[in-house]
Chain A
């Protein structure tokens, strides 16, 4: 029998009065993944995280953490979770080390565990300063250190890069990417920073108005989006005629043309196209295969949600 998934959510729904904050959200987080929960502000990301942590109750649906039903086995389920919700909430009158020791005491971990997580997050040197004197980046790190106490199977991070400067974002990205292997954990993080998610996540769930548009791996998401070819060549009209005769849909974009093909578009298509254009005496200035970025995919799905699910 295979080990239970770190996190499984089925048909999770929650309303606040007439507002449906979550509608039938379903997702499965595979072990060892970095799972990004993406969506604009108000999409329902934080509400979902609060439901997962049992801070608010869901109207319907189930949350299972490491195989434990949150409603029926709350403490056993939460024993597998470390979390940083919104800005890292720390006690400002205490030092970083004291904040960790406080939680370690509740979780029955020893001092060595506190030192270990300080090492992982590279916060040992600043650990004896009061948290009230920390920068936001340091607070995020101590928050993550606290969430790592006891090596939880699931680490939940709510907007971990929010408010950080570029260097802080880069450091946070490196830390998060290293965690699944180093800590043998699974990261579930919410974000609205698409470029960050693109560089960090292995899986993604796209949220809009409380519903999931897509849940799955980034590769599966990319496969849903047809690749296109960008071309800069002249004379333009001859190029357009030639391409349309070859079965391409041609869209004119500023100085270049964007092509999509009824059949699969790949590197071989690009090579063949280049050959045809050159043989036809056309000057090719630029020719490349273009995959839609996460931002573009998200925007497309937001406008065409039916095409979202794999």
Chain B
């Protein structure tokens, strides 16, 4: 299994996956710097972290999951390397598990970098602002906790996107489902059923009702693990013609 994980890491070299993974943190840094430097941002760290994570959880995190899983699957689909990868003397389920692990690892790294970029952008923008400082102390624990919980709640949507991207050769299928899901999420934000919609689970971590946030966490993780487990079994058993 370790060698399969190493091989999957190897495949990422010079790939678009790494370029796309770098985009969200860079975007967040640029936007955060401009907002802070132009005095349009909050003057409290707590507010800054909450508003930054809201944008991340509502929009950027699902979009990152869509893009990264689709690009990861295209590493095999585009050159049609499945016939090589799946003919190696390794259980097929291990091959897919290694891919799933890397999908989650990449998203974890991107989540961490986005969190850091959000804070660094504010620190970099403050000297250019009129106030030049925040009115409270930076709470790293709050930031880590929020981003980590959002990441866990996003396992469901990541698993769904990963499964669709791996199953279908066309990039368009995964991206269409992802964009459709994100669009529906915008409409369903305030719905009581929104809690059960995978694309909305990350942002539900910010719900004022702690029970709703905990449910989003549980559904996100549980649903994601279930989709990965069933998906890997199905992918390993199906024909790869």
Contact = CB atoms under 8 A, between A and B. Distances in A.
Interface size class of A (residues with CB under 8 A): 20 to 34
Contact of B89 (A56, A78, A98, A101): A78
B23 interface: no
Contacts of A107: 88-89
A103 B88 contact: yes
Nearest to A108: B3
Contact of B83 (A55, A57, A76): A55
Interface string B1-29: 00110110011011100000000000000
B90 A89 contact: no
B87 A89 contact: no
A108 B79 CA distance: 24
B81 A90 contact: yes
Interface stretch (A34-42, A80-88, A110-118): A80-88
A206 to B, nearest CB: 23
Contacts of B82: 55, 89
Interface string B50-89: 0000000000000000000000000100111111101111
Nearest to B6: A105
A38 B88 CA distance: 25
Contact of A91 (B3, B75, B86): B75
B187 interface: no
Contact of A56 (B7, B79, B241): B241
Nearest to B80: A89
A197 B11 CA distance: 35
A106 B4 contact: yes
Given A85-B83, A89-B80, A98 B3 contact: no
Nearest to A146: B84
A75 B13 contact: no
A106 B91 CA distance: 12
Interface string A42-83: 000000001001111100000000000000001111110101
Contact of B3 (A74, A78, A87, A105): A105
Contact of A93 (B3, B14, B91): B14
Contacts of B78: 92
Contact of B84 (A89, A108, A130): A89
Q: Which of the listed residues B4, B79, B90 has the most CB atoms from chain A within 10 Å of its own CB?
A: B79
Interface string B91-130: 1000000000000000000000000000000000000000
A89 B11 contact: no
Contacts of B84: 83, 85, 89, 103, 146
A205 to B, nearest CB: 20
Contact of B79 (A53, A92, A106): A92
Contacts of A81: 87, 89
Nearest to A56: B239
A50 B240 CA distance: 8
A94 B11 contact: yes
Nearest to A87: B80
Contacts of B87: 53-55, 78, 81, 83, 85
B81 A91 contact: yes
Interface in A101-152: 101-103, 105-108, 130, 146
Contacts of B10: 94, 98, 101-102, 105
Given A53-B87, A55-B240, A78-B88, A105 B7 contact: yes
Contacts of A101: 10
Given A55-B86, A75-B89, 6 more contacts: A75-B90, A85-B87, A91-B11, A91-B79, A91-B81, A102-B11
3 smallest A-B Cβ distances: which pairs? A78-B89, A56-B239, A79-B89
